[in-house]
Amino acid sequence: MNDDRWEAPRVLLAVDLVILTLRDSRLHVLLVQRGIEPFLGAWALPGGFLGHEQEDILAAARRELREEASLSAVPHLEQLGVYGEPGRDPRGRVITVAHLAIAPRLPEPTAGTDAAAAGWTPVDQILSGNVTLAFDHLRIVRDGVERARSKLESSALGTAFCTEVFTISELQQVYEAVWGTPLDPRNFYRKVQSIPGFLLEDGPPRRTGNGRPAKTYRSGPRHDLYPPMVRSADGPADRGAE
Amino acid sequence: MNDDRWEAPRVLLAVDLVILTLRDSRLHVLLVQRGIEPFLGAWALPGGFLGHEQEDILAAARRELREEASLSAVPHLEQLGVYGEPGRDPRGRVITVAHLAIAPRLPEPTAGTDAAAAGWTPVDQILSGNVTLAFDHLRIVRDGVERARSKLESSALGTAFCTEVFTISELQQVYEAVWGTPLDPRNFYRKVQSIPGFLLEDGPPRRTGNGRPAKTYRSGPRHDLYPPMVRSADGPADRGAE
DNA sequence: GCAATAGTGTCTGTCAGACAATATGCC
DNA sequence: GGCATATTGTCTGACAGACACTATTGC
């Protein structure tokens, strides 16, 4: 750190949330319509400033999660990164710590204190540029989705999109929605079964809607998957070069 | 964001650097011995407060890299994460943005303005707890090393440890040192060759020390490796569960 | 029976790991 | 030649992707 006699600048610290969920087999993110300046009326990620000087950052994120998504039991929450370009906020130097939250299908949110409206928006709508976001929130959403995609490969994060008890085909729908790729149900079935500690069989081995009832599972103790799930590697072409 | 009339708290913003390099085939990290309170005399990561209110975070990290490691050409620098538990610094609420820097063998550093001493320390000395670090810097080093290990798999980061022109066995030493695993030279040779865009052949196909001269290469245009390098998967046992 | 979904078995190409064999330098 | 390192070739087991087939439900 630096010299003590020199006065270091202070900055405003915010947290923002990329809350992802699945609705009718598509990946959605929670957005709020801003009710205050700046960017009044624009869509933005839910978030807010640190509540008080001693509040923990993760605790602030959880608080916003409760306040803006009325969600008590937090399934998964992790730090995504810091976004703090000077000039990103006209109110002064604001540094925001973005967080990624994964949740099973949540109820339709209601507008909060600073938001004129709130709602689930399909992620592809945002990534394709059809919805414009305030601040640098487009980039944050992009980073959050990419993080979710890659964490699906190496961790049991996919189960966080599901209810506590789920079937393998439900889990498959999660992977298909987040990765945006169709998967072979039979190979998927074999794959997830072969990863030790990923899934635990649940009591009554039946349930479901139309055909043969499926066994039910719950998330196993292993959070880091080994061997990992791998994306089909179909497009080795368009992967980032340079 | 929140209500405008309410006064949001301000925090001190710092950057810290995990600068990794290879010295005699072992992974080292740059540490400085603190010359000021708090933790006077303790070893810590190089870093410092934001220079002025409008300084970009990455620019601040680059500045510290220059100042504390006397390094002009920055080979690789990326954000590692935010560390900001309340109480981690007695001077007040300090949020630090940790960065990961990878460099080829650097000269022995000299003590900077706030540092009584500076030096390269073997990473395993730190991870095994033989060296005690100030603040939460042990955790930051741990996260930085883990990030470097996993990025070696999916990106061309390994070449950032090498000089501009290098041989394949030199690159192999990088992988072995960072991963802490011996690798078969023949399979390694085939593997890196088979990844398109990873390596470019350099002009004079000769050089080296004792046996047959090796072809020389430089880093190719591809930064994301596909297919990825994979760690031998030897220990599926001790991977993190629960 | 038929439709629909769940779950199993088998084949095949690819690839990582083991390791033999060859090439090219220095002494 | 002898040693050391670089580079190529071959074999083998594991595994992902394709896909035929069986099982169990509702109608």
pLDDT of residue A47: 94
B144 contacts B159 by C-beta, under 8 angstroms: no
- For residues A193 and B75, give the distance between their C-alpha atoms in angstroms, rounded to a whole number: 43
| Residue of B228 and A240 predicted with greater confidence | B228
- For residues B116 and B139, give the distance between their C-alpha atoms in angstroms, rounded to a whole number: 23
- For residues A201 and A192, give the distance between their C-alpha atoms in angstroms, rounded to a whole number: 12
Q: What is the pTM of this model?
A: 0.91
What is the β-pairing status of strands A43-44 and A26-34?
Answer: antiparallel
CATH code at B155-219? 1.10.10.10
Listed by number, the residues of chain B in 36-55 with a beta carbon closer than 8 Å to a beta carbon of chain A are: 36-37, 47-55
- What mean pLDDT value characterizes chain B? 88
| Confidence bin at B69 (pLDDT 50/70/90) | confident
**Whether pLDDT at A107 is above 80:** no
The reply to whether the CB atom of residue A214 sits less than 7 A from any atom in nucleic acid chain C is yes
| Confidence bin at B237 (pLDDT 50/70/90) | very low
Give the percent of chain A with pLDDT over 70.
87
Phi/psi for A20 (5° steps) reads -105, 145
> Smallest Cβ distance to B57: which of A2, A82, A239?
A82
pLDDT of residue A191: 97
**Whether pLDDT at A105 is above 70:** yes
Say if A35 is an interface residue toward chain B (CB within 8 Å): no
pLDDT of residue B87: 87
Where along chain A do its domains lie?
12-151, 155-219
> Smallest Cβ distance to B221: which of A47, A97, A242?
A242
Tell me if A52 and B11 make a contact (CB, 8 A cut-off).
Answer: no
- For residues A102 and A76, give the distance between their C-alpha atoms in angstroms, rounded to a whole number: 5
Lowest mean pLDDT among A234-238, B6-10, B27-31: A234-238
What is the β-pairing status of strands A10-23 and B10-23?
Answer: antiparallel
Q: Which two tokens stand for residue B222?
A: 């591809």
For residue A49, the chain B residues in CB contact (below 8 A) are 1-2, 8-9
Å between CA of A215 and C1' of D8:
50
Give B114 to chain A, closest Cα distance, Å: 6
pLDDT of residue B239: 35
**Whether pLDDT at A15 is above 50:** yes
- For residues B16 and B50, give the distance between their C-alpha atoms in angstroms, rounded to a whole number: 11
- For residues A84 and B242, give the distance between their C-alpha atoms in angstroms, rounded to a whole number: 33
Does the domain spanning A12-151 belong to CATH 2.60.40.3140?
A: no
Lowest mean pLDDT among B24-33, B114-123, B135-144: B114-123
- What mean pLDDT value characterizes chain A? 88
pLDDT of residue B242: 30
**Do the first three CATH levels of B12-151 and B155-219 match, i.e. the same topology?**
no
- For residues B183 and A222, give the distance between their C-alpha atoms in angstroms, rounded to a whole number: 28
Task: Tell me the range of A35-49, B137-151, B209-223 where mean pLDDT is highest.
Answer: B137-151
> Quick one: average pLDDT of B23-43?
92
Say if A58 is an interface residue toward chain B (CB within 8 Å): no
